[in-house]
Structure 1
Amino acid sequence: MIQLLGVPFDANSSFLRGPAYAPQRIRWMETEGSANSFSEDGHEFIPGKNYRDVGDLSFESTDPQAAFQLIKSQAKSLIQGGDKLIALGGDHSVSYPLIDAHAEKYSGLNILHFDAHADLYENFDQNLYSHASPFARLMETGRINSLTQVGIRTLNLHQREQAKRYGVHVIQMKDLTDSFLQTLQAPLYLSLDLDVLDPAYAPGVSHHEPGGMSTRQLIDLIQKIPFEIIGADLVEYNPKRDLNDVTAMVAYKLLKELMAKMMRD
């Protein structure tokens, strides 16, 4: 069974707030959008049969340590019996406790990270828990076997140094092919920031970074992953910047494709 969890937390956003509203808006597309409940490979998603929506976490504080403790605790609880978890953020900082929970369960965890940004800052704006820093926090734990970042188009000197320091495999958007898929290892967790897409396809994100993937490119890459995904998150959708729910529909489509990749045939 796949567990679907909303993580409406955006207190670590460095530019705009809004991703906290994302989980509910994405869910609405199941009934208010124009799509059906099937993935492209023919999986139908039926609540209670192959997935269970456990609702949204409720945060009493914006303190990141308290929030992350709650996120990690809930994630560990949901996956301890063998179920898989897909989380709807939220800003990208929530990926740190989500993935850390998986790293404690799955020895030698590998991460595939789709994003315009590397999110490897050691300390962004004096916030160790910034949404620009989750992968630095994860790599410094020593529990991550490999991190592959795809679609990056904002590397600066510091992040290049961080990638080298932690042995990160970075595929910049300008160099993108699908050959990286053959280097991936299991167990694999997938973290998907919607701004990996060009803003033409996903205007509802806080950081518009032109030159990104098309929706079709991203779906094709997800479908070509050569094995199951053991956990995933979809983050950084900002409904406050969306146009006619275009990005919400993209997020719902990607959610179905991620769930299909996580299901056992």
Structure 2
Amino acid sequence: MPAIRLFGLPTDVNSSFERGAAAGPAAIRAALRSERGNLASELGPEIGVDIAFADDGDLPLSEDTARDDAAIRRHVTMLQEDGEVPLALGGDHAVTFPLVEAAATCFGPVNILHFDAHPDLYDDFGGNPRSHASPFARICEAGHAGRLVQVGIRTLNRHCREQAERFGVEIVPMAGFTPGAVPVLEGPLYISIDLDGIDPAQAPGVAHPEPGGLTVREVLAVLHKQTAPIVGADIVEHHPGRDVGGVTAILGAKLVRELAALIDRNGPYPN
């Protein structure tokens, strides 16, 4: 089974409204290590016991996006060349672009399962083409996505709708949502979880809360039905300054456990 390597990406330089997501990795990591809970997943295995799991700490990022992108690509490429699976903690959602770029360089275009309130498909946002509102536009135009399925979207404006049509994005609407409406994707599979995809009643610690979102149980149901080998994953956009009682950090830690167990269960993708 593949070894899983956790690492943090403490940057929010590309946040469009309010910075604070740079503190997300530390908060999620603290919740993961807290004696409040344990390291077992709902799939059964425990990380670090039944699952090969290591924490690389945070990458030393800067306010220079190009330099940070290069550092992220180097780290992910190193892990993937060693047969390990990167599991990243953001940071804002802009970090997903270099993460997916590195995966696609190693495996070819990846299929992406993306949980979010927002499609993040802006050609640019506020004049910034590397905004956290734009990573999937960059990913799609570079040809890194074989298939992009977005779950939890509930703020689709005209521009992003046009972008989705342009790139052939598959959006599973929240209206009438059931986990069964989400397809089971083939590998190589990449999973990106923006915590604001979950309803703010269950995940208040985000900069862009949007009512009417996914429940934690719905997210887990969608994750657990995926059977393809996973080549990378991220959990992004936790803003500890907006959290209530640490519940969003605790959720982030739970998702680390569930993603690790899923990566382990689904096995390695053949190079």
TM-score range, shorter chain: over 0.9
Matched residue count: 264
- C-alpha contact 2:114 2:148 (8 A) present in aligned 1: yes
Offset, 1:220: 1.6
Q: Aligned-pair distance for 1:217?
A: 1.3
CA RMSD in angstroms comes to 1.6
Establish whether residue 6 from structure 1 lines up as the match of residue 12 from structure 2: no
Give SS of 1:182's match.
coil
TM-fit CA distance, 1:207: 0.4
Pairing of 1:126-145 with structure 2 (within 5 A): 126-145=127-146
Counterpart of 1:143, as a letter, is H
Q: Does 1:223 align with 2:224?
A: yes
Greater mean deviation of Cα atoms: 229-238 or 29-38: 29-38
Question: Any unmatched runs of 5+ in structure 2?
Answer: none
Whichever residue aligns with residue 51 of structure 1, its letter is: F
The superposition leaves residues 228-247 of structure 1 with CA deviations (integer Å, 9 ceiling, x where unpaired) of: 32210000000010111011
User: Which stretch of the first structure deviates more once superposed, 49-58 or 247-256?
Assistant: 49-58
Tell me whether 1:109 sits opposite 2:110 in the alignment. yes
Query: Partner of 1:32 in structure 2?
Result: 34
Which residue pairs with 1:236 in the alignment? 237
Matches of 2:224 and 2:20, distance apart in 1: 29
When normalised by structure 1's length, the TM-score is 0.95
| Kept in 2: contact 1:33–1:249 (CA 8 A) | no
Matched, 1:163 2:164: yes
Q: Partner of 2:183: helix, strand, or coil?
A: helix
- Whether the aligned pair in 2 keeps the contact of 1:47 and 1:53 (CA below 8 Å) is no
| Mapped partners of 2:105, 2:249: distance in 1 | 32
Query: 1:45 is matched by which residue type in structure 2?
Result: I
Distance, in Å, in 2 between the alignment partners of 1:108 and 1:68 is: 18
Q: Secondary structure at the match of 1:247?
A: helix
**3-state SS of 2:57 partner:** strand
Q: Write out per-residue CA displacement over residues 123-176 of structure 1, whole angstroms, 9 at most, x where no aligned residue.
A: 100001000000000001123211111110000000000000001001121142
> Alpha-carbon deviation of 1:189?
0.2
- 22-31 vs 209-218, greater mean Cα deviation: 22-31
Q: Which residue of 1 aligns with 2:23?
A: 21
What is the CA-CA distance between 1:47 and the residue it aligns to? 7.3
Q: Aligned match of 2:47 in 45, 48, 58?
A: 45
Task: Work out whether residues 51 and 264 of structure 2, in 8 Å CA contact, stay in contact via their aligned partners in 1.
Answer: no
Could you say what secondary structure the match of 1:23 adopts?
A: helix
Structure 2 counterparts to residues 173-184 of structure 1, below 5 A: 173-184=174-185
Q: Is the 8 A contact 1:149 1:170 kept in 2?
A: yes
CA distance in 2, matches of 1:21, 1:152: 25
Alignment-derived partner of residue 259 in structure 1:
260
Give the superposition deviation at 1:48: 11
Question: Structure 1 stretch 84-93 or stretch 25-34: which is displaced more?
Answer: 25-34
Kept after mapping to 1: 8 A contact 2:179/2:221: no
2:260 partner amino acid: M
Query: Alpha carbons of 1:42 and 1:49: their partners in 2 closer, same or farther (altered >3 Å)?
Result: closer
Matched residue, 1:99: 100
| SS of equivalent residue, structure 1 residue 234 | strand
> After the TM superposition, which of the residue ranges 181-190 and 41-50 deviates more from structure 2?
41-50
Rounded Cα–Cα distance in structure 2 between residues aligned with 1:203 and 1:29 = 16
* Counterpart for residue 247 of structure 1: 248
Q: CA, structure 1 residues 183+49, in 2 after alignment: closer, same or farther (shift >3 Å)?
A: closer
Shift of 1:65: 1.3
Runs of 4+ in 1 over 6 A off after TM superposition: none
Report the AA paired with residue 6 of structure 1.
Answer: G
Structure 1 31/109 Cα, relative in aligned 2: closer, same or farther at 3 Å?
closer
The TM-score with structure 2 as length reference comes to 0.93
Which residue identity is paired with 2:44? G
Segment drifting more, 7-16 vs 61-70: 61-70
- The 3 A distance-change label for structure 1 pair 6 and 49 is same
